[in-house]
Structure 1
Amino acid sequence: MLVFIHGAACTPAVFTHQLKAFPDAVAIALPGHGVPGAGEDIASFAVAVEAHIAAEGWRDVVLCGSSMGGAIALEIAIRGKLPLAGLVTIGSGAKLRVAPAILEALRLGDATVLATLADAMFATPSAETRAAMFAQFESVSPEQRLADFRACDAFDVRERLGAIAVPALMLVGERDVMTPPDRSVFLADRIAGARVELLSGLGHLAMLEGPEATNLHLAGFVDSIGG
């Protein structure tokens, strides 16, 4: 079954189109993102996701994480404590450096940075998508937003990718400026048997901007591993 993990300052709503296309799929809300608790680093988020999946008793899980969610999925696959059927990242990477100016703006509570981030999520942001993303960002507390992006900035598993031993697919928007395609190529080159798919004309949140193409690749991957 597909289990989706959202990214920094987001909620499970980023996977709206996927939850409609895959009725048996679920999207987990990370601590501090509409559910109690708080996450301070990728490892703590990974532990929370592992505990959630174990408590639910889900089996044959294909983790699919967007951006920071992809980092969490990578960490879980590397740790190897949770049996996985497969791994998908969408616009993610082995290292997720965040510009110091963004971290400082988030620390100071500068609301204009949210608009900047909302625009950066899409190749061609519309007023509707921009407003939807801004609303998601605002639904997460300023403290948790900052913690999320600090967690991304500290994340680095470049030397640990060889530990991943499950089928893996890296999806990335051709016009992703947050985590450019070379980050996904790096992952696919270092995870045995992994492959990367470039999504033409799409940006960072490809699953929102181009759900048809994203869902087609997801369905093909799940079918290929019998998930």
Structure 2
Amino acid sequence: MSVIKVGDLQIGYSEAGNSAENPPLIFLHGVGSDKSVWDFQVKELSKNRRVVAFDYAGYGESNLPSKDLTREEIARYVFGAMDALEIKRAHILGLSFGGVVALEMFAQNARRIMSLILADAFARHPRGGEIVERTLSLVEKMTMREFAEQRVEVLLMPEIGEQMRGEVVETFSKIPKQTFRWATRAVWAADYRNLLPQINVPTLILVGERDAVAPVELSKELAENITGARLEIISGASHLSNLDKPRVFNELIEKFIELQNQPNETNYKIADRN
């Protein structure tokens, strides 16, 4: 177990790679997972750089906060964890809720963000209020395992094997209800549309073509409002596109980060990846 002290909390993290030549890459998970959702990315993308995946407070190996947290507080804890690991600036990759946290991090301290990678995310979800109400109602009636077993059907493609589906359910089911409630409110109430035109760092937007949680249209909205953003639509992937198509996902990240060394690169086009 790897944990660091950040303010009043112990924050769990996983880390690999130690290259001093390339800036670190930080992974931020979604509302229904923890840092383990990034295990394949941590392994494969650490060959040329340091990579770190954090657990939010109340998730994974992090302990429970004494109160419900906001997006703003979660972002501050991530910055605090970066400080504890002596990371001044980094590429920030957030999936779903992690993408929302990444946007909040840019809003708080853009100088520490080298680039943004927003996967299956959004600036604002048009049905956010409805989703909060429905989700919290279901969670009150079910155990977290029952809810996870229902939810996995929209998180992964149908052809994903039982082992992976079981791992997603197992991780989801371990999230304390208290944590899941405040995280649900934090993600679905987000509205960063006014921030998008201010984003002035290289930005990659990834989305599964079959994402029913954060549909492609919401990623297109991000791309259309962030100057120079690159949008990649991943064929055969749903909401957890990093699990549905892990090699394609990793390849797109690797190529995007490599482009940061080619300042004249202007080939920002909408793509459909198989």
State the TM-score, normalizing by the size of structure 2.
0.78
Which is richer in strand?
2
Q: Name the CA shift for 1:69/1:40 in 2 (closer, same or farther; >3 Å).
A: same
Shift in Å, 1:110: 4.3
- 2-side partners of 1:185 and 1:31: how far apart? 30
User: Is it true that 1:178 corresponds to 2:213 in the alignment?
Assistant: yes
- 2-side partners of 1:68 and 1:226: how far apart? 29
- 2-side partners of 1:128 and 1:120: how far apart? 16
- Contact 1:179-1:204 at 8 Å conserved across structures: yes
Among candidates 149, 155, 174, match of residue 121 of structure 1 = 155
Task: Tell me which residue corresponds to 1:5.
Answer: 28
- 2-side partners of 1:47 and 1:6: how far apart? 15
| Higher mean displacement: 102-111 or 179-188 | 102-111
The one-letter amino acid of 1:42's match is R
- Contact 1:168-1:194 at 8 Å conserved across structures: yes
- 1-side partners of 2:176 and 2:33: how far apart? 11
Kindly indicate whether structure 1 or structure 2 has the higher relative contact order, using CA contacts under 8 Å at least 6 residues apart: 1
Task: Tell me which residue corresponds to 1:32.
Answer: 58
- 2-side partners of 1:159 and 1:17: how far apart? 34
- 2-side partners of 1:11 and 1:217: how far apart? 22
Give the structure with higher Rg (CA): 2
| Higher mean displacement: 211-220 or 107-116 | 107-116
User: Is it true that 1:107 corresponds to 2:140 in the alignment?
Assistant: yes
| Higher mean displacement: 101-110 or 113-122 | 101-110
Among candidates 20, 37, 47, match of residue 14 of structure 1 = 37
Supply the RMSD in Å over aligned alpha carbons: 1.7
The gaps in structure 1 that reach 5 residues or longer are: none
- Contact 2:26-2:52 at 8 Å conserved across structures: yes
SS at match of 1:48: helix
Which is richer in helix?
1
The gaps in structure 2 that reach 5 residues or longer are: 1-23, 263-274
- Contact 2:35-2:55 at 8 Å conserved across structures: yes
- 2-side partners of 1:78 and 1:189: how far apart? 19
- 2-side partners of 1:68 and 1:55: how far apart? 23
- 1-side partners of 2:210 and 2:132: how far apart? 18
- Contact 1:77-1:84 at 8 Å conserved across structures: yes
| Higher mean displacement: 214-223 or 31-40 | 31-40
For 1:77-226, what aligned pairs fall within 5 Å after superposition?
A: 77-96=106-125, 97=128, 98=131, 100-111=133-144, 112-124=146-158, 125-226=160-261
- 1-side partners of 2:147 and 2:174: how far apart? 15
